[in-house]
Amino acid sequence: MSELSVNHLLGIKYLKESDIQLIFETADHFKEVINRSIKKVPSLRDITIANIFFENSTRTKLSFELAEKRLSADVINFSAGQSSVKKGETLIDTVNNILSMKVDMVVMRHPNPGAGIFLSKHVNAAIVNAGDGAHEHPTQALLDSYSIREKLGDVANKNVVIVGDILHSRVALSNILALKLQGANVKVCGPKTLIPKYIESLGVEVETDLVNALNWCDVANMLRIQNERLDISYFPTTREYTQQFGVNKKLLNSLGKEIVIMHPGPINRGVEITSDVADSKQSIILNQVENGVAIRMAVIYLLASKIK
């Protein structure tokens, strides 16, 4: 297979395992490109991409913009906070105005789950979901799996635990779907109040004891508490959360093996992981960020090749 089975990247749930492998093989090529002295290729000289962000972002926004520029696409950036959305303009009107400037692809982050799916049905452009509320964050899951593959050689049969706020996390859902599609074993660990009831229907086991989870896993993906999405209190105090579900160096060293530590960012240092864990040699957090550019180049390149 040399092309994706989809015309948009709306979520991992719409991908086949062969799509993931194609994205990884394409990212391998682009990773080699971005480590050259000349980091740019002319592949998308005739493509214009709009990055429209209705929610804050550091990594995803910069990574998409860099990926697009490395591919020589024309790039326009839109942040809702400084736009006419503030004057009441709707999502479809906003995007159709942007598209009338002859834009081929839209990368969108939005607080509402399903915003990308909605957009893909109403506008004529390839849509890439850069995170839609607590629903999906597909490029994050792709770069996470790619980073596991790079570190451990393969994703299949690896034991991965996702720790923290599973209920509000688009990173958790996209990671679970991507890891299961590739044959990994997945557990989630966190306060019972932050683990959705349906989670086991995704083929995932629940472990509420962090030490058991860490002893079982090859990889621990540590998530941030999504304070901006918490409508009520899900645990007594942050201090108590850290005592039960935070990873520190003493705990890491007490395990009988070396596990890989991941985090999608932004990190709340001292809450879900301490600085000496985040910055340890077991951590691949900055490798994840580096791989994000190659993965996003691959996604954009493969989707653009379906437009032409």
- Cα separation, 190 vs 271, in Å, equals 13
Check residue 291 for interaction with ligand CP (CB under 6 A).
no
3-state secondary structure of 285: helix
Residue 238 to residue 160: CA distance in whole angstroms: 24
Residues 6 or more apart in contact with residue 168 via CB below 8 angstroms: 134, 194, 226, 229, 230
State which of residues 94, 140, 147, 169 lies at the interface with ligand CP (CB under 6 A): 140
Q: Do 4 and 302 meet the contact criterion of CB atoms below 8 Å apart?
A: yes
Cβ nearer to ligand CP, comparing 58 with 157? 58
**Could you say whether residue 57 binds ligand CP (CB under 6 A)?**
yes
β-strand partners of 110: 132
In DSSP terms, 76 is beta-bridged to 50
CB nearer to ligand CP: pick between 70 and 296: 296
Region near ligand CP per CB under 6 A, out of 16-24, 51-59, 240-248, 253-261: 51-59
Smallest CA-to-CA distance from 29 within 70, 60, 1, 65 is with 70
Give the distance, in angstroms, between the CA of residue 237 and the centroid of all CA atoms in the same chain.
27
Nearer to ligand CP, 113 or 265 (CB): 265
CA–CA dist 128, 132 (Å, integer): 10
For ligand CP, the closer of residues 125 and 143 by Cβ is 143
> What is the biggest distance separating any 2 CA atoms in the chain, rounded to whole angstroms?
59
Q: How far is the CB of 53 from ligand CP (least distance, A)?
A: 9
Nearest residue (CB) to ligand CP, 55 versus 207: 55
Q: Rule CB under 6 A: is residue 229 a binding residue for ligand CP?
A: no
Check residue 227 for interaction with ligand CP (CB under 6 A): no
Task: Compose the 251-290 pattern: x for residues touching ligand CP by CB under 6 A, - for all others.
Answer: -------------xxx------------------------
What sign has the CA pseudo-torsion 138, 152, 57, 69?
negative
Q: Name the residue nearer to ligand CP (CB basis): 143 or 260.
A: 143
The answer for residues whose C-beta is within 8 angstroms of residue 286's C-beta and 6 or more apart is: none
Of 251 and 267, the one with the shorter C-beta distance to ligand CP is 267
Query: Which of 60, 169, 175, 185: binder of ligand CP (CB under 6 A)?
Result: 60
Read off the DSSP letter of residue 202: G
- Taking residues 74 to 113 in sequence order and writing x for each that binds ligand CP by CB under 6 A, - otherwise, the string is ----------------------------------------
Decide if residue 249 touches ligand CP (CB under 6 A).
no
Residues interacting with ligand CP, by CB under 6 A?
Answer: 57-60, 131, 137, 140, 264-266
